[in-house]
């Protein structure tokens, strides 16, 4: 599975694409940062993020997109820009029919380091090791985007299986209910 991880940000939006499957070796496909200037018009910054992520989606053809779940920060202005960048990534994925998953920073950290409270240096070291990179991805936004993609590859398979099992149970319950109603309409005894 090829997954694009997006670490949203208005100034630096990390984008990392990995390929792999649970229990198999992961491969780096791409890592970069979409940048916008802080002194640029806000709408133009959002357009720049949209243009950059869209081009990467079209070029790299991910099968799923993992976006960092925006959490409350002390600076409302920062969290708003981060949320807007996350929304752009989700919208672009939806337009392409790609599934989108939101992972918290601690989920991504736990997936790659085993510790949901790992610091950025630990995450970067483990991403570098897991992808067998010669050099650490920089800046930290790039490493975080790769951690999100890795998290989704490893956790996404289990999440898909759980969702499929849930759909199967719902479909089976609906089938049983249709049969019960059909038997009832034929005048049979229904319990």
Q: For 82-139, how does the pLDDT look when each residue is reduced to its tens digit (9 = 90+)?
A: 999 999 999 999 999 999 999 999 999 999 999 999 999 999 999 999 999 999 999 9
- For 168-177, b where at least 16 C-beta lie within 10 A, e where not — what string? eeeeeeeeee
Query: How would residue 159 be classed by pLDDT, with cut points 50, 70 and 90?
Result: low
- pLDDT at residue 188, as a whole number: 60
Catalytic residue numbers read 7, 68, 141
Q: What pTM was estimated for this model as a whole?
A: 0.82
Check if the beta carbon of residue 167 is closer than 8 Å to that of residue 58. Answer: no
Check if the beta carbon of residue 5 is closer than 8 Å to that of residue 66. Answer: yes
DSSP string, the chain: -EEEEEE--SSEEEEEEEE--TTS--EEEEEEEEE--TTS-HHHHHHHHHHHHHHHHHHH--SEEEEEPP---S-HHHHHHHHHHHHHHHHHHHHTT--EEEE-HHHHHHHHHS-TT--HHHHHHHHHHHTT-SS--SSHHHHHHHHHHHHHHHHHHHHHHHHHHHHHHHHHHHHHHHHHHHHHHTT----
Query: How would residue 189 be classed by pLDDT, with cut points 50, 70 and 90?
Result: low
Residue 162, pLDDT > 90, answer no
How far is Cα 43 from Cα 66, in angstroms, rounded to an integer?
24
- Judged on CB neighbours under 10 Å (0-12, 13-18, 19+), 60 is middle
Q: Hey, which CATH number is domain 2-154, 3.40.470.10, 3.40.80.10, 1.10.3720.10, 3.30.420.10?
A: 3.30.420.10
- pLDDT at residue 50, as a whole number: 98
Cis amide linkage into residue 76, ω under 30° from 0? no
- pLDDT at residue 173, as a whole number: 74
Query: How would residue 180 be classed by pLDDT, with cut points 50, 70 and 90?
Result: confident
Pairing of strands 2-7, 12-19: antiparallel
Check if the beta carbon of residue 14 is closer than 8 Å to that of residue 7. Answer: yes
Residue 168, pLDDT > 90, answer no
């Amino acid at each position: 599975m090829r997954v694009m991880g997006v670490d949203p940000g208005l100034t630096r939006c990390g984008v990392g694409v990995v390929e792999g499957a649970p229990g198999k070796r992961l491969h780096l496909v791409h890592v970069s940062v979409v940048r916008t200037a802080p002194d640029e018009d806000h709408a133009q910054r959002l357009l720049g993020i949209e243009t950059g992520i869209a081009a990467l989606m079209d070029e790299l053809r991910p099968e799923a997109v993992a976006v960092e779940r925006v959490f409350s920060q002390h600076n409302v202005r920062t969290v708003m820009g981060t949320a807007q960048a996350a929304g752009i990534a989700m919208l672009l994925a939806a337009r392409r029919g790609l599934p989108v998953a939101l992972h918290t920073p601690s989920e991504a950290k736990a997936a790659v380091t085993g510790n949901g409270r790992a610091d950025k240096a630990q995450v970067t070291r483990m991403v570098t090791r897991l992808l067998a990179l010669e050099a650490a991805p920089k800046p930290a936004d790039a490493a975080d985007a790769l951690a999100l993609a890795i998290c989704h590859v490893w956790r996404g398979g289990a999440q898909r299986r759980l969702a499929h099992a849930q759909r199967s149970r719902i479909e089976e319950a609906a089938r049983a209910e249709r049969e019960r109603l059909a038997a009832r309409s034929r005048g049979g005894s229904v319990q």
